[in-house]
Amino acid sequence: MFSRDIGIDLGTANVLIHVKGKGIVLNEPSVVAMDRNTGRVLEVGEEARRMVGRTPGNIEAIRPLKDGVIADFDVTEAMLRHFIDKINVKGFFSKPKMLICCPTNITKVEQKAIKEAAEKSGGKKVYLEEEPKVAAVGAGMEIYQPSGNMVVDIGGGTTDVAVLSMGNIVTAESVKMAGDKFDVEILQYIKKEYKMLIGERTAEDIKVNVATVWKDSRHEQMDIRGRDMVSGLPRTITVYSEEVEKALREPAAMIVQAAKQVLEKTPPELSADIIDRGVILTGGGAMVHGIDQLLAEELKVPVLLAEDPMDCVAKGTGIMLENIDKIERKKIV
Ligand SMILES: Nc1ncnc2c1ncn2[C@@H]1O[C@H](COP(=O)(O)OP(=O)(O)OP(=O)(O)O)[C@@H](O)[C@H]1O
């Protein structure tokens, strides 16, 4: 019977859902707005994100997955079910297979609960897969060959670095430093340097429009608004690429360090392949200006940004589900 298998990138910053034959059908921030008094979920996704930093006392906008781990399991489960229900799985002809890609560091108990939540939402068979592997597949790497492929997946909460060969991870590292932490560093820099408080959204705007992690490669400026810590009044200042580059030096160095550690542990034959093929960057954090140049300089290997880096995991789930199909069909024959 016609089936529409579903792949889910359950990320710290965003949730993406890929449906076989349709492509990516949902892409929303991993945010849930709740009533603090009743515990009731008010909004999920984009609507909830608009509320971050702008809610009255009784409403809270939560990111249930923080730093690449599940900070609030019940809310994560509610969010997952909301998104699956939104794409109306129950309206599909047959119950779909689901492949979910969740943070690398979650516990066995959490894995089981995520599987159960997906099954309850209409999944026939639910698989969980490791994020860097799926990201590499989604970026078009031939990870099933006996050769070394290196991927650096810079998400919202974590950066996962992995060398893969013959379909499996050979060496890997995961650090809690990625796109969202860059926002926090920028926020803290503005606080320290200008004695001004800004919101998460403003910090992210600075990261996207002004920041760079590669010295002298970007010369932008932006007027930003916040609250003066001394007078308590609204204030506007101008920030420049050069100062943000300095503020992001340390966090960027942590990502470089994780990649170096992986290369140091990689068997020499696979290292040779990586020199030929280059390192592929995936995840939204990989779009931070200059990170490809910084890594290329530090690792002494070519570094390439994947096409649509934020979509790699979701696309990868689609490709992997087709492979599962092929394996299962072979078993039947
Ligand atoms: N143009 C851009 N420039 C810089 N950063 C960006 C850009 N677009 C998105 N980002 C950042 O990408 C991050 C989100 O990436 P992504 O959606 O891949 O994370 P995730 O998969 O949800 O997280 P994780 O892998 O940690 O679970 C956010 O920090 C966001 O600010």
Per-position DSSP letters for 282-323, written without gaps between them: ESGGGGSTTHHHHHHHHHTS-EEEPSSGGGHHHHHHHHHHHH
Q: How many CB atoms lie within 10 A of CB 219?
A: 10
How large is the average pLDDT for residues 47-59? 80
Atom number of ligand 1 nearest to Cα 207: 4
Give me the residue label for tokens 């300089």: 297
Q: Is 206 annotated as a binding residue?
A: yes
Atom number of ligand 1 nearest to Cα 159: 26
Nearest one of 5, 10, 7 to 45, comparing CA atoms: 10
The sheet carrying 234-240 orders its strands as 196-197, 221-228, 234-240
No. of helices (H) and no. of strands (E), the chain: 11, 18
- CA of residue 9 to ligand 1 center, whole Å: 12
Residue 86 has pLDDT above 80, yes or no: yes
Distances (CA, A) of 161 to 10, 154, 237: 18, 8, 37
Model ipTM over 0.95: yes
How much is the pLDDT for 1? Answer: 45
Confidence band, pLDDT 50/70/90 cuts, at residue 333: very low
**What region does 39 belong to: left with phi over 0, alpha with psi -120 to 50, or beta?**
left
Least confident among 21-30, 115-124, 208-217, 274-283: 115-124
Residue 271 has pLDDT above 80, yes or no: yes
Contact 87, 19 (CB under 8 A): yes
User: Does the CB atom of residue 287 touch ligand 1 within 6 A?
Assistant: yes
User: Does the CB atom of residue 11 touch ligand 1 within 6 A?
Assistant: yes
Confidence band, pLDDT 50/70/90 cuts, at residue 322: confident
Q: Percent of the chain having pLDDT more than 90?
A: 67
Cα 33 versus chain centre, distance: 20
Q: Which of 207, 245, 289 to mutate for ligand 1's pocket (most ligand atoms within 8 Å of CB)? A: 207
Residue 317 has pLDDT above 80, yes or no: yes
SS3 percent helix, strand, coil of the chain, rounded to 5, is: 40, 25, 30
Residue 153 has pLDDT above 80, yes or no: yes
Confidence band, pLDDT 50/70/90 cuts, at residue 329: low
Q: Is 207 annotated as a binding residue?
A: yes
Convert the pLDDT of each residue in 224-268 to its tens digit. Answer: 999 999 999 999 999 999 999 999 999 999 999 999 999 999 999
Confidence band, pLDDT 50/70/90 cuts, at residue 275: very high
Distances (CA, A) of 268 to 209, 265, 331: 39, 9, 36
How large is the average pLDDT for residues 18-24? 91
Q: Percent of the chain having pLDDT more than 70?
A: 96
Rounded to 10°, the helix 249-265/179-194 angle is 150
Give me the residue label for tokens 């010369």: 219
Contact 105, 68 (CB under 8 A): yes
Nearest one of 172, 49, 65 to 114, comparing CA atoms: 65
Q: CA 126, CA 114: separation in Å to the nearest integer?
A: 9
User: Does the CB atom of residue 208 touch ligand 1 within 6 A?
Assistant: yes
Contact 94, 127 (CB under 8 A): no
Q: Is 157 annotated as a binding residue?
A: yes
User: Does the CB atom of residue 98 touch ligand 1 within 6 A?
Assistant: no
Q: CA 199, CA 184: separation in Å to the nearest integer?
A: 10
* Protein residue closest via CA to atom 12 of ligand 1: 284
- pTM higher than 0.80, yes or no? yes
Residue 212 has pLDDT above 70, yes or no: yes
